[in-house]
Amino acid sequence: MNECRAARMLLRVIWLGFGLACGSTGQQAPGRDDGGASDASSTADAGRAADASSAADASDGAVALACPSLPEPTEPIITVSAIQSADLPSIVREASPGTTILLEPGVYTMTGDESSRRINIASDGITVRSSTGRRDDVIIDGEYQTNEIFFVQASHVAIADLTVRRAVDHLIHATGRESGTIEDLRLYNLALYDSGEQFIKVNSDGQMHYVDQGRLECSLLRMTSEGRQHVETQYGGGCYTGGIDAHGARGWQVRLNAFEGIRCENGSLAEHAVHFWSGARDTLVERNKIVDCARGVGFGLVESGVGRTYDDDPYPGVAYVGHYDGIIRNNLIYATSAGAPYFDTGIELDQARGARVYHNTLPGAATFSSIDYRFSNTQVSIRNNITIRITRRDGASGTVDHNLESASFGLFRDPPSDFRLDASASTAIDQGVLVPEAGLDLDGRPHEVGLPDLGAYEAE
């Protein structure tokens, strides 16, 4: 081992030791739920102990350390039990601003028509969360009878520590409101299963009022084989589902999540696991694991259209921008043998002006492209990624260097369970270039110790 490499390892040991000393283990790692109801009698203490033990798992521990439990709730608080399921929508609707709704363990199903079943949040500062902090203790089940389980038109709202499943359309839908754009929607430690359309839909109210500065963090979005039987096929190309789909949203963060199996098997292409377009801006997508989804991350989509514009006009003279600026970094996007036939593109940049794509690992199958940048208004920076192929189309431009294409599984420790770099991966180790805003790798380590490695993991 050379002296430079030894120094890098020593500095990383110091870094990891600091992180372990300062981190919290009170949060589940994404991707470790099975979608079923847990024993509703489990106590909060037992739940926290189980979460802490999951942090020791080598594959997900760093993510768990980065996702601490939410602070204890403050008054006013309304506590609801599963026996009150039918009343939950009215309880939330009538709650005063700033109220926390604590849901006790159990399965919650609603009754009546759509207006009676849907949980509308229209007052600012409302929080809906489980009383235990464990997302598998509280299940809100739309039973494929509720079109939209949560509908949000308020600022400073949090939906956290819950499982939400089986909506006809959307599990969560947020829009602007007549009085203006809403801000600070926090979606945290959720397990979201099986939505007939996009799991999370974010759009304007049709009057240029948007949903800005939102966060989707530490959550699992999973489509099951049973759920695929309920995907909307009447429009949208025959597979009108996706993970989070946001039109014109500004300043969102999508971090530390797992997206699994969001695809159809009917020959039609699903939407992206993470999609921000129609003039969305300043989106941060980092440290997510996207597995067996038809498409990974999309900034923009179409060549022209109607999208959000901004008073400061960041790119004067550019007619249409599908996505302004933003960063996609330190994500792992791949398909297993089961998902490979349905996998299309890992990262898609269409009329994406100023987007930066750094340190992503996109191994394995790519039916079309690992990273595709397209259309003449696209101007991007793509650096330090591990890919199968990178494609440029229709006049797109950018700084595209220090990427590895035609990557083989031999680069990695134990794919598909472990995509950390093997010690012999000389074509990826120390082959990167220092870039601003590289962020932390998937294990929570910096890329700034010596020359950075390619991909989402720094080698040990």
Q: Give how many domains the chain has, as a whole number.
A: 1
Assess whether pLDDT exceeds 50 at residue 323: yes
**pLDDT value of position 174:** 98
CATH of the domain at 139: 2.160.20
- Residue 446 inside a domain? The answer is no
pLDDT: is 204 or 337 the higher one?
204
Assess whether pLDDT exceeds 80 at residue 423: yes
Is the Cβ–Cβ distance between 446 and 395 less than 8 Å? no
Assess whether pLDDT exceeds 60 at residue 52: no
**pLDDT value of position 365:** 66
**pLDDT value of position 340:** 87
First to last CA, the chain: 12
Nearest in space to 24 (alpha carbons), one of 62, 59, 60, 57: 62
CA distances from 436 to 55, 354, 379 (A): 29, 14, 17
Assess whether pLDDT exceeds 80 at residue 359: yes
| Percent of all residues in the chain with a pLDDT value above 90, rounded to a whole number | 81
**pLDDT value of position 364:** 76
- Residue 180 inside a domain? The answer is yes
Assess whether pLDDT exceeds 60 at residue 12: no
The CA distance from 90 to 112, in Å, is: 12
- Residue 149 inside a domain? The answer is yes
**pLDDT value of position 22:** 31
**pLDDT value of position 235:** 78
3 state DSSP class of 35? coil
**Structural domain span for residue 181:** 3-421
Assess whether pLDDT exceeds 60 at residue 317: yes
Which one-letter amino acid corresponds to residue 266? N
pLDDT bucket at 312, cuts 50 / 70 / 90? very high
- Residue 444 inside a domain? The answer is no
Nearest in space to 247 (alpha carbons), one of 169, 316, 305, 188: 305
Report the range of poorest mean pLDDT among 49-63, 165-179, 216-230, 265-279. 49-63
Per-residue pLDDT reduced to its tens digit, 92-121: 999 999 999 999 999 999 999 999 999 999
**pLDDT value of position 44:** 31
Per-residue pLDDT reduced to its tens digit, 384-409: 999 999 999 999 999 999 999 999 99
Q: pTM of the prediction?
A: 0.88
- Residue 44 inside a domain? The answer is yes
- Residue 66 inside a domain? The answer is yes
**pLDDT value of position 64:** 52
Is the Cβ–Cβ distance between 345 and 365 less than 8 Å? no
- Residue 147 inside a domain? The answer is yes
**pLDDT value of position 15:** 34
| Average pLDDT in the chain | 87
**pLDDT value of position 449:** 77
Nearest in space to 455 (alpha carbons), one of 362, 354, 351, 346: 362
Mean pLDDT on 362-386 = 93
Assess whether pLDDT exceeds 80 at residue 207: yes
- Residue 181 inside a domain? The answer is yes
